[in-house]
Amino acid sequence: MSRGRVARLVVRPVARLVARRTGPVRRTVEGMRIVIAGGHGQIALRLERLLAARGDEAAGIIRKPEQADDLRELGAEPVVLDLESASVEEVARCLEGADAAVFAAGAGPGSGVGRKDTVDRAAAVLFADAAVRAGVRRFVIVSSMGADPEHQGDEVFDVYLRAKGEADAYVRSLDALDWTILRPGQLTDEPGTGLVRLEARTGRGPIPRDDVAAVLAELVDTPATAGLTLELISGSAPVSVAVKSVAGN
């Protein structure tokens, strides 16, 4: 799909939604508008369901138009845009009027070295730059435990950890963002328990994707966690309690 075709798919719905919600970042009785990169990912789909259920306006950025109905069924708005080829201006148009942005995109376990750079690093940098351009301060990025821009090695997973680390470092450098970096442990498809351990350092451990999504939903609504890099594994604290604890409440 060409860049021009992508732009035609995106501009009209975004313009309509901007007319409905503009102004400073805040939670209102109408809920927040939250734009999620990687909108058809396993964590993002769970997050969109949670946000829609609590009355927020979730928009998921997807590459493939055929994925749109999956988001609509969850109550989310699909926005078709390829973050590997889009410009900052195109992504910023998707973010205009949003209260928060969540980067949950990833190249996936079957991808090679090239896409670890174009998605896990470059797309995250692009999304952060677009949030700054659109004036969206609240920014949450899903990273990986062990992410480090200085990580050594040439295997695919080494490149992945380095790409994630470089993306995290870039986001941290942007004073215009109230960022939070979330680094989950080993992701599983087990049903969520709602009980987690969320700290600066947790050590390795599993975490259901359900619980990662629940933590993300709390984080976007908790600006007091801005400036924190947090690891997440299963634990004994309810999600809301764990988030309030790291927020200092």
By annotation, the residues acting in catalysis are 160
Nearest CA among 244, 201, 203 for reference residue 225: 244
What tokens were used for 227? 């400036």
What tokens were used for 81? 């845009």
Q: How many helices (H) and strands (E) does the chain have?
A: 9, 11
What tokens were used for 32? 């927040």
Q: What are phi and psi of 51, to 5 degrees?
A: -65, -45
Q: For the sheet with 138-142, list strands across it.
A: 77-80, 57-62, 33-37, 100-103, 138-142, 178-184, 228-234, 195-199, 237-238
At 125, the amino acid letter reads V
C-alpha distance across the termini of the chain, in Å:
47
